[in-house]
Amino acid sequence: MRVLIIEDEAPLARSVARALREESSYAVDIALNGEDGLHLALTEPYDLVLLDLQLPKLDGLRVLREVRARGSRIPVLILTARDLKSDVVSGLDLGADDYLTKPFDILELLARCRALIRRGYDRPDPILRCGAIEIDTRARSVRVSGKRVELSAMEYRLLEYLALREGELVTREEIETRLYGQDALHDSNVVEVHISNLRKRLGPEVAHSALRTVRGQGYMLGGDAE
């Protein structure tokens, strides 16, 4: 999963980004002003935007208005120090999905982020199931046929994304955009390596039937690859 934080308080933005990476295994990008944030939101594929309202160069409400005017349905969670109800109402009326007032509890923020991302994929249940595979998105834990399977952060991120898109063909390029942030460097065959490692972790029988390669196109978890 990939998250964009649009927040001009750099220490806060870095703190939230660190929590999202370490506790939820998300790829995270940061924009410190509204103009940069709007550009990223409209040009990069994100699963969630965390949006401050008081931003330099372009106000957060203007960013939200422009994102929705372009037809984007990306979930947006407003983070604001403003305590006026009118600001919250304006944000929600412009298409925000949720809000938190600063200062906020980081665990509550993480829970709201997980819920909004699942909702964006029409998967509200925190437990994702695909055949013998069970993924607890709250604990970032995976079980196969009832037995716990240990995954690296990147392997978990890959499996969760494929599970959220269960039954859909997912291209290598789409996977890369969700595994890495804007400035991350990686090898050209990194997706194939992670897919191979994930299959080993899941076990040959489950991996063969559940995690499929559609030659020349991409990968699919569950569904019919024929």
pLDDT for the residue numbered 182: 66
76-80, strands of its sheet edge to edge = 27-31, 2-6, 48-52, 76-80, 98-101
Which conformational region is residue 99 in: left (phi greater than 0), alpha (psi within -120 to 50 degrees), or beta?
beta
pLDDT, residue 24, reads: 86
What confidence score (pLDDT) does residue 83 get?
64
Helix/strand/coil percentages in the chain, nearest 5: 45, 20, 35
Task: Report residues of the chain scoring pLDDT below 70.
Answer: 82-84, 182-188, 223-226
**pLDDT for the residue numbered 82:** 66
Burial class (CB in 10 A: 0-12, 13-18, 19+), 165: buried
| Cβ pair 72, 41 in contact under 8 A | yes
Q: Where are the domains of the chain?
A: 2-120, 127-221
Between CA 43 and CA 173 the distance in angstroms is: 15
pLDDT recorded at residue 225? 44
Identify the CATH number of the domain defined by range 127-221: 1.10.10.10
pLDDT at residue number 6: 98
**pLDDT reported for residue 4:** 97
User: Does 127-221 match 2-120 at the fold level?
Assistant: no
Given the candidates 1.20.140.10, 3.40.50.2300, 1.20.120.80, 1.10.10.60, the CATH classification of the domain at 2-120 is 3.40.50.2300
- pLDDT tens digits, residue range 150-180? 999 889 999 999 999 999 999 988 888 888 7
pLDDT at 33: 98
Would you state the pLDDT for residue 23?
A: 87
pLDDT score of 226? 43
pTM of the predicted model as reported, rounded to 2 decimal places: 0.88
